[in-house]
Amino acid sequence: MARDGKLEQIAAEAGISPNTVLRVLRGENKETWPSAIRRADEIRRIALKLGYLPNGSARAMRRGRFNCVALLLSTDQGRSYLPNDLFNGIHDALHEQSMRLVVSKLSDEQLTSGRVMPAILREWSCDGLLINYTDRVPAAMIQLIGKYRIPSIWINRKQENDCIYYDDLGGAETGTRHMAELGHRRIAYLDFVSRDYWDWAHYSHADRYEGYARAMREAGLPPTPREKFAGVEAQARLDATVALLRGPRRPTALVCYDNGARALLAATQAGLKVPRDLSILTFAPWHGGDGGRQGESFLGWAVAQMGLPVVEAGRRAVELLTRKIAAPAQKLPAGVLPLKFEPGDTCGPAPLNP
């Protein structure tokens, strides 16, 4: 019975039984014929007027499902990279399945708690987790998720099962090979991450460098040693890039782990024209449609990029999680997403006399 007899009030005003009202408001009634559609619309109108909603929590408990998933983030922003399009991909894929999304940020202390982790699904009223926690993941957190069989899919974390990640290795190889095919023989790689961080940094640092190095070796060219720019402090990175571009036997092409804007500024300070004197390739989220050309909106130039398909990652993560919720004990193969090349305005043939 509805609280305060509202279910009976709706039924009386609509001239039908309370059970029919309940079926309509739960979405369980077939509305095929015009008369059934009109009746259902009238029931919903009366229910809205009287302020009645079915008890979603009670219904979820009866069915054993909440039709809700949680997006789990770290309180350390550096470990939970969440571009807008990734969030939109997750949200839209859930919306299409009439599922809701709960977003929560937890500290490492909470994520490794034997009290917090087992209660997450119940207390958040959700069926499973999308974990956007990309690196330096506490081992105890992984153990607790496995121990309590919490249906989970990791986003942008490279492992064998139950995850979605980007093929950064293949993407870097493709982009570097493109530079070599344009005639570039001196292609430098820029990544300022410290050597002390290599063992626990996000997988993309190692994979992007390895993809670059493979393409260089394939072309018979010497790759930039990975440690060449390791550990350069943030405030010194622009100066280090300018010095590289002013040096003897300067590169004619740059593959940058990130921040194409810094490379463009460094080229300007070094007196080089892009792409006449220097070609630049970087990595960034792929926004679909016109790809990397969104750079034109604030730079006037679109930096060439290997695009991360973030919308697709969100959608694929939801797809895998729904399968995981149905069979929590089943290990699902990792979903590996290829990067998409967008030449933009910064890739050109190698200069004849660099």
Residue 291 has pLDDT above 50, yes or no: no
Tell whether the model's pLDDT for residue 137 goes beyond 70: yes
Quick one: pLDDT at residue 155? 97
Q: Look up residue 252 and give its amino acid.
A: T
pLDDT band at 297 (very low <50, low <70, confident <90, very high): low
Predicted local distance difference test score (pLDDT) of residue 299: 66
The pLDDT of residue 197 is above 70: yes
CB 247 within 8 A of CB 202: no
3-state secondary structure of 103: strand
Flag whether 344 is in a domain: no
Q: In whole numbers, what is the pLDDT of the chain averaged over residues?
A: 87
Task: Determine the average pLDDT of the residues in 235-256.
Answer: 96
Could you count the other beta carbons within 10 Å of the beta carbon of residue 29? Answer: 17
Q: What percent of the chain has pLDDT over 70?
A: 88
Indicate whether 347 belongs to any domain. Answer: no
| pLDDT at position 2 | 43
Percentage of the chain exceeding pLDDT 90 = 56
- Tell me: do 129 and 78 sit in the same domain: yes
Segment 270-292 mean pLDDT: 85
pLDDT at 295: 59
* Res 354 pLDDT > 80: no
Q: Specify the pairing of strand 304-308 against strand 340-342.
A: antiparallel
Residue 123 within a domain: yes
Both 45 and 70 in one domain: the answer is: no
Residue 155's SS3 state is strand
Question: Which amino acid, one-letter code, is at 338?
Answer: P
In the prediction, which pLDDT does 296 show? 61
Give this prediction's pTM: 0.81
Distance CA 33, CA 36 (A): 5
Give pLDDT tens digits for 36-54.
778 887 887 888 777 665 5
Distance CA 136, CA 161 (A): 18
The reply to whether 259 and 227 lie within a common domain is yes
Residue pair 155/85 in contact by the 8 Å Cβ criterion: no
Q: Give the residue numbers spanning the domain of 244.
A: 168-309
List pLDDT tens digits, range 67-100. 899 999 999 888 898 999 999 999 999 999 989 9
Instruction: Assign residue 251 the CATH number of its domain.
Output: 3.40.50.2300
Residue 342 domain-assigned? no
Is the pLDDT score of 353 beyond 90? no
Structure confidence at residue 1 (pLDDT)? 37
Number of compact structural domains in the chain:
3
Say if residue 209 is in the same domain as residue 85: no
In the chain, helix, strand, coil percent, each to 5? Answer: 50, 15, 35
Q: Which helix (H) or strand (E) holds 105?
A: strand 100-106
Whether 114 and 206 map to the same domain: the answer is: no
Predicted local distance difference test score (pLDDT) of residue 31: 57
